[in-house]
Amino acid sequence: MTTQTNSATDFTFPGSAMTVNRMGYGAMQLAGPHVFGPPRDPDEAIAVLREAIASGVNHIDTSDFYGPHVTNQIIKRALHPYPENLVIVTKVGARREDDASWHPALERQQLIDAVHDNLRNLGLDALDVVNLRVGGITGPIDGSIEEPLTVLAELRSQGLIRHIGLSNVTPRQLAESQSIAPIVCIQNYYNVAHRDDDAFIDDLAAQGIAYVPFFPLGGFTPLQSSELNTVAASLQATPMQVALAWLLHRSPNILLIPGTSSRVHLRENLQAASLQLSTQVLAQLDAISAASPNR
């Protein structure tokens, strides 16, 4: 695998006028523990969002099943009326029970209700991008997604959704989806240690489609690597900053949505965008993938 070094800071979603800073923000951690209930510190959650926007972030990833409803309501409270250039990407396809469990929600009425929940809680008339979330917890499950995607395509034709993306999908599912509606982004599990989507990313880049890795820092099990620690020390950066910088170097269609409920961590994440990685450093980081059990 050849790691590409592209320093472009912006990306324009295909077929749209939406241009975003490639370093965005993921709102999942604004909810309470296990992405359920209210945050421990609502005022800090609002401050994080406002500082992100003030720092140049104009791409927020969220979902109404975070909380549920919590993150969207915080986003609205913190940022509404929204800046003109802000792109809010949400997702549907799951629901939460009272015990905080996660369940698929891909039936027609469930998807329609989810879109309206997002609209109401965000205070919007139309959603910029809606990702259809399918598959398992962290990996795709191959099979047709025609039925749920057709529902989103209908909502798009009604003007409630401007653009459609997919989350946790295979290349085959993308190809099926493109026969139903244009797809502007893919959101899959990918990071410096988990690189199963290498070929997929390159194909999407050729098509001009955004790739947005979820769990860019390992998710609920943070990345652990001696190589990552060594590189970080040599660059006077944190391992997580290096992991984010590697993703920005990997391909110009990769958009980042690291999440945090802390302004201190937000600043650290944003600083990763200015971190330059040499060819030698990139080769060292490739060793992380070679040693990973995910490969």
Task: Determine the average pLDDT of the residues in 190-205.
Answer: 96
Q: What is the pLDDT of residue 3?
A: 37
Query: Is 92 part of any domain?
Result: yes
Task: Determine the average pLDDT of the residues in 2-11.
Answer: 60
Residue 292 has pLDDT above 80, yes or no: no
Task: Determine the average pLDDT of the residues in 232-241.
Answer: 96
Q: What is the pLDDT of residue 220?
A: 76
- 25 as an active site residue: the answer is no
Query: Is 128 part of any domain?
Result: yes
Query: Is 233 part of any domain?
Result: no
Residue 231 has pLDDT above 60, yes or no: yes
At 295, the pLDDT band (50, 70, 90 cuts) reads: very low
Query: Is 103 part of any domain?
Result: yes
Q: What is the pLDDT of residue 289?
A: 76
- For residues 8 and 174, which has the higher predicted lDDT (pLDDT)? 174
Task: Please answer whether residues 189 and 218 qualify as being in contact, where contact means their C-beta atoms are separated by less than 8 angstroms.
Answer: no
Q: Residues 79-99: pLDDT tens digits? A: 999 999 999 999 999 999 999
Q: What is the pLDDT of residue 248?
A: 97
The pTM score is 0.95
From 66, 82, 189, 211, active-site residue: 66
Q: Residues 254-275: pLDDT tens digits? A: 999 999 999 999 999 999 999 9
Query: Is 263 part of any domain?
Result: no
- Residue closest to 94 by CA, chosen among 58, 65, 71, 121: 65
Cα separation of 216 and 188, whole Å?
Answer: 10
Q: What is the pLDDT of residue 8?
A: 72
Query: Is 4 part of any domain?
Result: no
Cα separation of 120 and 132, whole Å?
Answer: 18
Backbone angles phi, psi at 109, to 5 degrees: -70, -35
Question: What letter represents residue 189's amino acid?
Answer: Y
CA-based R_g, the chain, Å: 18
- Mean pLDDT, the chain, rounded, equals 94
Query: Is 11 part of any domain?
Result: no
Q: What is the pLDDT of residue 151?
A: 98
* Domain extent at residue 51: 19-221+252-258
Q: Residues 54-65: pLDDT tens digits? A: 999 999 999 999
User: How many structural domains does the chain have?
Assistant: 1
Residue 294 has pLDDT above 80, yes or no: no
Query: Is 200 part of any domain?
Result: yes
| HEC string for the chain | CCCCCCCCCEEECCCCCCEEECECEECHHHCCHHHECCCCCHHHHHHHHHHHHHCCCCEEECCCCCECCHHHHHHHHHHCCCCCCCEEEEEECEEECCCCCEEECCCHHHHHHHHHHHHHHHCCCCEEEEEEECCCCCCCCCCCCHHHHHHHHHHHHCCCEEEEEEECCCHHHHHHHHCCCCEEEEECECCCCCCCCHHHHHHHHHHCCEECCECCCCCCCCCCCHHHHHHHHHHCCCHHHHHHHHHHHHCCCECECCECCCHHHHHHHHHHHHCCCCHHHHHHHHHHHHHCCCC
Q: Which CATH number does the domain housing residue 65 bear?
A: 3.20.20.100
Q: What percent of the chain has pLDDT over 90?
A: 89
Residue 17 has pLDDT above 70, yes or no: yes
Q: Residues 115-142: pLDDT tens digits? A: 999 999 999 999 999 999 999 987 999 9
Q: What is the pLDDT of residue 291?
A: 63
